[in-house]
Structure 1
Amino acid sequence: MSTAESTTTTADAQAFLRDFRSLSVIGETPGHGVDRQAATAADAQARAWFTSLAAQYGFRTEVDRTGNVFALLEWTPGAPYVLVGSHLDSQPTAGKYDGAYGVAAALHAGRRLAESTVPGEEPKYNLAVVDWFNEEGCRFAPSMMGSSVYTGKLPVEEALAIQDKQGTTVAQALEAIGHLGTGTGPTAAAYAEIHIEQGRSLEDTGITIGLVHSCWAAAKYSVTVHGEQAHTGSAVIADRKDALLGASMLVVLLRETAQAFSGAVLHTSVGQLDVYPNSPVVVPSRVDLVMDLRSADEEVLAAAQKLLHEGITRIESDANVTIDVQQSHAWGLNPYQPAGVDLARECADKLELSHAPVFTLAGHDSINMKDIVPTVMLFVPSVDGISHNEREFTHDDDACAGVDMLTEVVARLCRGELDGAK
């Protein structure tokens, strides 16, 4: 029996699984996923789970101005904190593991460290387990909002003023659930996060721990297709300026662009279509949507963007519409500190857990945090690579092995073993 296969038999593992399963019923959907969008009642209930369990395990909790929740263990008064965590919010119909696994794992890593700390041998840094606000970005855009404010990439006043589709601001939503806090959170010395892979490379290769070394390059666009309203029955086809037709052609263009590059080196998608007036008898006059391109090869990404813009020009002519395109986010190949990857590899070797270096294709709060402090990002396998889906699943053995791994990593970060990492 491998180490990963034996981890669920320990008392620590059983405690983790018990707590994770209690979290998993919060906001549960009929399809056995979860719906815990940011600052909703279900998110508030998950936050109550977090603060209650943290108190039970000896943490003190506080909430900052953007709704990030921190559970604090102070061993060395005045010292900075090693932050470890993820997020409890979800997509509208999501799985139970994305984000939530990382928060539960972080709480249990902190509990184990607190229980094993010997008086007089306290670590150099304190510990803070964090639930980042609005990582998913489905109710309030942009995603990774809480960590963006924490790291100074997004002004807090700007974040609090953002509205959802019903016109509710972030500030109003946080106040409604009692999580519009104060301050800027604890000062960070380092950061660690564990997450399900949301891909299938680990499962395909039988690897237990993914050592995340870099994030794919990406380009995201906010797009508005402008047409003209008309009657769906009486308007002559040749006269129509159908914004939804233009948007549909964009969807096809993005898929064809991905298929133009062999070897699955480019991922593309179109999402969050808002159609106006969205009436069954009106040709749409406006469609707002988001386009997303990602690749591990920056030259491929640049070539894909060129194809995309050429295709948009054709669509404007063919569909008789105009298309406004604004780049909302873009980043190149985005590496984590090599010293953090090396530290994680040493921890996996010590625990006799199989491991391999991996990319992250998705965004995570660690991408923000690595720009200000030494950061370690870890993955555990996702069954069939499924994520943002109610069928999302990670085996208990892998989940528990990940908690063991995270505990070892965080212990070493608290001892200052990544100090000075570049």
Structure 2
Amino acid sequence: MDRNKEWVMNEIEKIAHFGKGSRGITRLAFTETAVEAQKYVISLMEQVGLKIRMDQIGNIIGRLEGRDDSLPAVITGSHLDTVPEGGKYDGVTGVIGGLVAISRLKDKGGLAHPLELVIFACEESSRFGFATVGSKAMVGLANVSEWSKAKDQSGLSFAEAIAQNHLDIERIGEAARQAEEIKAFVELHIEQGRVLEKEQKTIGIVEAIAAPTRLKIRVEGVAAHSGSTPMEERRDALVSASMIVLAIHEIGAEQSKYGTVATVGMLNVHPGSINVIPGVVEMWVDIRGVNHESIIECLQDIKDAISTIAEGQEIGVSIMLLSAEKPVNMNKDIISLVKKVCMEKKVPHQVIHSQAGHDAMNLSHLAPAGMIFVPSQNGVSHNGEEHTAIDEIMSGIDVLTETLFQLAK
């Protein structure tokens, strides 16, 4: 086992201890656990000799100067926050892999362009309902008016949460960078699917990233006593909500031929008592795909189905559009470069789509962007069982290192 492989294995395990529970890792954005993980990785970045700064959304940026500091930076990185009971490879692979790549290039020396490693803040939507917050702010796409309304499940607002980290919601705009500052961005990440595993490929070269369209649906019936209200007189919000869940599933299945998926991931039932007919149900819907027309059709079909159900069940339904992002294509030149690197290194590879969103889709608005995938065992992600073999991670780091070198030399 070479030193780098052992080091990567050990560091992934050490980071996994921040927020580790019996069923997975919980490291929600801006929590004390997430901050402690950041501090630990900052110490690793400092050991490599990176100059560290934090921007006004909480992104951690480590910089290695090149021969000409006036040239735009070549950037890599990912995130450290997780979903509740998530895995130890999602995000972390790109952070540790990026650090190894920069360390190797520092030892090699002679690069013209600066290199940067970024730990993006609040990539996961689990705490506040908004994803890739840090990278949105970095490219000038911060939606401060919406973010300011967001609260976590404990009732703590987004503004209060970032204030606990000495950040001011009124200054988020200062995190935005200019296009001339960045030459390219390349993110290493686990696939979070089974394509590479099924095709027995080591590297996925991402061509397009599916973007989420997210809805909050509120179903309003009438809360009543479960024993004294006859079945024919009920306006049960949960029954109607269940019909909507099934309709969304069926619509997603119909659109799956275009690669589109639709998921109801969370429901809140009120008043939430065993002897009370539910009066209100809130649900959150996630629609994703790389075919924008299919996403629009899926959204319209869902609205039509909800209208039919609401009329038939005599209940009220409101739909709030939380986000509607278009699928993003990765830069063709970077795709070609990664292909060339894989061929030179004789690494089995293929072009692939990402069904999950990533920070790279936002960076693509500011600079040429690309993604390098390594396999996920059994396609499992956002789960304590998440696993990627260390040899596959090291292959990803090798490809990332050479890609960054070619961009920064």
**Common fold: TM-score over 0.5:** yes
Q: Which of 58, 61, 64 is residue 49 of structure 2 equivalent to?
A: 58
Using the TM superposition, name which of 217-226 and 360-369 deviates more. Answer: 217-226
- TM (normalized to structure 1)? 0.89
**Structure 1 counterpart SS, 2:378:** helix
Contact 2:27/2:84 (CA < 8 Å) preserved in 1? yes
- TM (normalized to structure 2)? 0.92
Displacement of 1:173: 2.2
Match of 1:41 in 2: 32
Match of 1:104 in 2: 96
1:289 and 2:283 correspond? yes
Contact 1:208/1:355 (CA < 8 Å) preserved in 2? yes
Contact 2:211/2:357 (CA < 8 Å) preserved in 1? no
What is the rounded CA distance, in whole Å, between the counterparts of 1:217 and 1:148 in structure 2? Answer: 13
List aligned pairs for 1:300-379, cutoff 5 A. Answer: 300-379=294-373
Identity of aligned residues (%): 30
Displacement of 1:34: 0.8
1:94 and 2:86 correspond? yes
* Number of residues of Structure 1 aligned to a counterpart in Structure 2: 402
1:196 and 2:187 correspond? no
Structure 1: tracts of 5 or more residues without a match: 1-8, 416-422
Displacement of 1:273: 1.5
Letter in 2 for 1:170: F
What is the rounded CA distance, in whole Å, between the counterparts of 2:21 and 2:204 in structure 1? Answer: 29
Contact 2:212/2:325 (CA < 8 Å) preserved in 1? yes
1:85 and 2:77 correspond? yes
Letter in 1 for 2:185: Y
Q: Which of 112, 116, 126 is residue 138 of structure 1 equivalent to?
A: 126
Contact 1:63/1:179 (CA < 8 Å) preserved in 2? no
**Structure 2 counterpart SS, 1:51:** helix
Contact 1:245/1:319 (CA < 8 Å) preserved in 2? no
* Change in CA separation of 1:82 and 1:179 when aligned onto 2, cut-off 3 Å: farther
Letter in 2 for 1:103: V
* Change in CA separation of 1:111 and 1:35 when aligned onto 2, cut-off 3 Å: same
Letter in 1 for 2:83: Q
1:122 and 2:115 correspond? no
What is the rounded CA distance, in whole Å, between the counterparts of 2:331 and 2:388 in structure 1? Answer: 27
Using the TM superposition, name which of 62-71 and 250-259 deviates more. Answer: 250-259
* Change in CA separation of 1:249 and 1:50 when aligned onto 2, cut-off 3 Å: same
Displacement of 1:216: 3.2
* Change in CA separation of 1:171 and 1:67 when aligned onto 2, cut-off 3 Å: farther
Match of 2:377 in 1: 383
CA offsets 1:96-138 (integer angstroms, 9 cap, x no match) = 1111111111111111111111xxx332x21111111111011
**Structure 2 counterpart SS, 1:260:** helix
* Change in CA separation of 1:325 and 1:188 when aligned onto 2, cut-off 3 Å: same
Contact 2:139/2:176 (CA < 8 Å) preserved in 1? no
* Change in CA separation of 1:65 and 1:11 when aligned onto 2, cut-off 3 Å: same
What is the rounded CA distance, in whole Å, between the counterparts of 1:85 and 1:343 in structure 2? Answer: 18
* Change in CA separation of 1:347 and 1:270 when aligned onto 2, cut-off 3 Å: same
Displacement of 1:292: 2.2
Contact 1:66/1:159 (CA < 8 Å) preserved in 2? no
> C-alpha root-mean-square deviation of aligned residues, in Å?
2.2
Using the TM superposition, name which of 392-401 and 249-258 deviates more. Answer: 249-258
1:249 and 2:243 correspond? yes
List aligned pairs for 1:16-31, cutoff 5 A. Answer: 16-31=8-23
